[in-house]
Structure formats: C-alpha cells, structure tokens
Amino acid sequence: MKSTKRRVTAREMKAPKFRNETQEANWWASHQTQIAEEFERAAAEGHLGRGSVARKGATPTTTIRLDQDDLSRARLQAERKGLRYQTYLKMLLREALLAEEHKMAHRR
C-alpha cells in the first residue's frame, strides 16, 4: 500500500522566525535533505536563478573584510539589541553615511 503522505515542496516550506543563529542553524540542518532535493528538482527543470539564491527585489550582496575584534564587538552589541549582526552592521553603516552626508552638506 502506498503512503498518502503528501510531500511538502520548498515553496510551501517556510523558515520560521529564529531567536538566534543557533536555532536557525539547527533548523537548516534538520531540513537539508528536503532542501537539497528541491534544489536538484528545480535545477533539473531549469528553474534556478543566478547566484546561490535567486533574489527578486532584494538588496545586493557585498563582501567586506572586518577586523575580528570589530566583528566580535558587532555580534555582541547586536545580540544585546535582539538583532542579527548583519542587520546591525547595515544599520550602523547607514547611520554613519547619513551623518557624513549631513556634515558635508553643512560645510558648503
């Protein structure tokens, strides 16, 4: 007798909100087989986008080398604020850029 259990597709499978990076890592690890199967199916059907993840309307990805002490400090501060460290770094960068722009505008 065949199983009537319906397979959940990657589109239907949504990652929940995570309290921390450890919880997120555990979720991805426990779902890696299903995600890999969906990835391979999409590849076979020609539905993969460019890059590691096809993003529509997302912010562009960039790489920056940071001093280990600065990265550790950012992670700690972000955790205290309940944020992911990448989000926190983006916030800090934006604040610094806006402050510099404001200074430059007032020097004219």
- Number of helical H runs and strand E runs in the chain: 4, 0
**What is the domain extent for residue 94?**
62-108
pTM for the whole structure: 0.46
Give yes or no: residues 38 and 78 share one domain: no
Give yes or no: residues 78 and 40 share one domain: no
Of 57, 13, 59, 55, nearest to 36 by C-alpha is 13
Give yes or no: residues 53 and 70 share one domain: no
Give yes or no: residues 19 and 41 share one domain: yes
Tens of pLDDT along the chain (108 residues) come to: 455 555 555 556 677 888 888 888 888 888 888 888 888 887 788 777 665 455 555 678 889 999 999 999 999 999 999 889 999 999 999 999 999 999 999 887
Give yes or no: residues 67 and 44 share one domain: no
Domain count, the chain: 2
User: What integer pLDDT is reported at residue 96 of this predicted model?
Assistant: 94
Max CA distance (Å), the chain: 80
